[in-house]
Amino acid sequence: MCRVYYHDKDILIRDMQQSDAQIITEEEIAQGWHADIEKYQMRLRHQAEGRSISLVAEYKGNIAGYINVYPNSEWGAFASQGYPEIVDFGVLEKYRRNGIGNKLMDIAEQISARYADVVYLGVGMHNGYGSAQRMYVKRGYIPDGSGVWYGDKVCEQYADCRNDDDLVLYLSKKLPNSGERSLS
pLDDT, tens digit, 9 for 90 and up, residues 45-56: 999 999 999 999
pLDDT, tens digit, 9 for 90 and up, residues 100-138: 999 999 999 999 999 999 999 999 999 888 889 999 999
- Bridge partners of 119, per DSSP, are 173
Residue 56 sits in which domain range?
A: 4-174
Q: What is the CATH number of the domain that holds 127?
A: 3.40.630.30
The pTM for the full model equals 0.90
Tell me if 59 is assigned to some domain: yes
Instruction: Sort residue 97 into left (φ over 0), alpha (ψ -120 to 50) or beta.
Output: left
